[in-house]
A and B are shown apart, each in its own frame.
Chain A
């Protein structure tokens, strides 16, 4: 049995750590690239969203590397995501791969479902070993996300553009290599201090929130590195969606009745009264909630994403006003087109801020 799974941002790092510690045979498909996308697009139904196409590309590339057991998230009551695995299994079958898809229930069984799945995959390893490997994976996940937050702060104000990105790339490599908790802590500390020492200018960067659908927010390949591009334009990006946050709440705190999203849902209530699946409710809520403290909001959604279209229709009607730029991501999204729109948006925000200062 050889395990493969699709990419989403740096999610492969904690999983790699987990699998290594449990001696599970696994492959990591190549990080998302043009070939992944082409493969995914070629074999997907035409109206599907980009997360489906890219994950399908990953699964095909994993199967090419010999993976026979593929992990895919699934569940019910959550947009099309719950149907991905079913369809992808049939597509892989029709392509002639002898693979089996293991569904990872993201909406129902939470922590115990995940641990149970790991136990099965690890050929019944003892629980103590599973828990310790799981904790190490989580530690890596948290370390990656903490560094990323620091990078988001440095990008807009660094003296030499691109410094933070280079440090980030090295940090990711180092975290991936770290093989015990102590090394990991040291790596995180070193890179955080390196980021702090980057020479910065004293500008007051514009603050732009970035919200929308989970996958396109977290997979830079699908949004054409929008955060880096905004950083180049001198904009500080604020994003509430992080995998570590999601994991913390949905695996540990939600079962205890704590929900990080309650505040966002409450804010959205006057405009959208119910959960519509996916992240549509959160998108509306974030606009309402952050209308005061952000300069603008970028709403990212895959083309044909059902919940986000509902959100996009509702957003303009909120009383709380803040400029919103919706960018739909799919294989047709071109870099220069997106850059032009970002530049125009940032210009608009600059004018708004200047006008506000004058008043």
Chain B
């Protein structure tokens, strides 16, 4: 059986159920790299130039972890998934960059996704990808339809039940998700999924918040319409492909419904440097919901994250107490 490797990094969190269904529909076995570890991150960092952003380094580490474990590695080049809204250069250059820095990598399956070129090009790209596994276009079509269905179900699951991507993926594979203790308050975490759900690089941020009895809200729990509306209110219209995860969710949660918003960014991330700034400016302008931005990189120390988190949560508790006093 042909084994297709999927690195547990970057777009994995958005599209894993879709990709898995597609490749399994074509009769391939899907291999996912293990969760990020320090050694894995170090191996990835050693291959690329120092200025590369943290998520890309993590990604290279995951590709290295898949060497010799699969026949192909799936790395799509996603240029655009909405009309006239484009993705960051790192995503576009990902297949070529991986090939350049990891010459020993298994054959890379790349596919160009660019919605601006029209449906026909998109279908052709999907068919070209499927051709590696079967000559039968109907089989590719069937797998692609099933994959799209799986993706919709996955998104719905996160919105309706308030699950994070890792929880939803676990649910889809029918593992039990632990039920949580009732929460004191809710905190919104905004940022790209590859930062929010990679427990190693964010030093178990979600876990820590849940331990402190906070309910964690994430961008995936909002519907596409809510996110789009928030972006339009804040900047007039999206510019980046994954802008809704930052500006959309940030704008939405800052307007109410949560006790605090934490923005998570990776050092050296181009789009985030601008998007998080937009959210921060909005937070200052509104002055209603506390906002903290947390920058992650290889040298981010656990103690630093913990200290800042504690201070932020203390501040929120103090604020709540004072509000209660004023009301009483």
A residues apposed to B, CB below 8 Å = 45-49, 76-77, 79-80, 82-83, 86-87, 90, 94, 271-278, 280, 303-307, 309-314, 316-317, 326, 328
Cβ-defined contact, B92 with A313, below 8 A: no
Cβ-defined contact, A313 with B274, below 8 A: no
Chain A residue with minimal CB distance to B60?
A: A313
Mark contacts of B127-146 with chain A using CB atoms, 8 A cut-off: 1 yes-contact digit, 0 otherwise.
00000000000000000000
Cβ-defined contact, A47 with B269, below 8 A: yes
Cβ-defined contact, B103 with A317, below 8 A: yes
Distance between A78 CB and nearest chain B CB, rounded to angstroms:
8
Cβ-defined contact, B274 with A306, below 8 A: no
B79: Cβ under 8 A from any A Cβ: yes
Chain A residues with CB under 8 Å of B278's CB are: 86-87, 90
B174: Cβ under 8 A from any A Cβ: no
Cβ-defined contact, A271 with B96, below 8 A: yes
B residues apposed to A, CB below 8 Å = 48-49, 51-53, 77, 79-80, 84-86, 88-90, 92-93, 95-97, 99-101, 103, 110, 112, 235-236, 239-240, 265, 267-274, 276-278, 281
Chain B residue with minimal CB distance to A45?
A: B277
Distance between A51 CB and nearest chain B CB, rounded to angstroms:
12
Distance between B190 CB and nearest chain A CB, rounded to angstroms:
16
Chain B residues with CB under 8 Å of A311's CB are: 93
B86 interface neighbour in A77, A303, A313, Cβ under 8 Å: A77
Q: Could you tell me the distance between the alpha carbons of A109 and B273 in the complex, rounded to whole angstroms?
A: 28
Chain A residues with CB under 8 Å of B265's CB are: 47
Cβ-defined contact, B274 with A45, below 8 A: yes
Cβ-defined contact, B101 with A76, below 8 A: no
Cβ-defined contact, B49 with A46, below 8 A: no
Chain B residues with CB under 8 Å of A90's CB are: 278, 281
Chain A residues with CB under 8 Å of B99's CB are: 317
Assess A313 versus B281: contact at CB under 8 Å? Given A76-B85, A273-B95: no
Subset of 30 A-B contacts with CB under 8 Å: A45-B273, A45-B277, A47-B267, A47-B268, A47-B270, A47-B273, A48-B273, A48-B274, A77-B84, A79-B89, A80-B270, A82-B239, A94-B281, A273-B77, A273-B96, A274-B77, A274-B79, A274-B92, A274-B112, A275-B92, A276-B92, A280-B89, A303-B51, A304-B273, A306-B89, A309-B49, A310-B92, A312-B49, A314-B93, A317-B103
A276 interface neighbour in B89, B239, B276, Cβ under 8 Å: B89
Cβ-defined contact, B100 with A313, below 8 A: yes
B268 interface neighbour in A79, A80, A304, A326, Cβ under 8 Å: A304
Chain B residues with CB under 8 Å of A309's CB are: 49, 51-53, 89-90
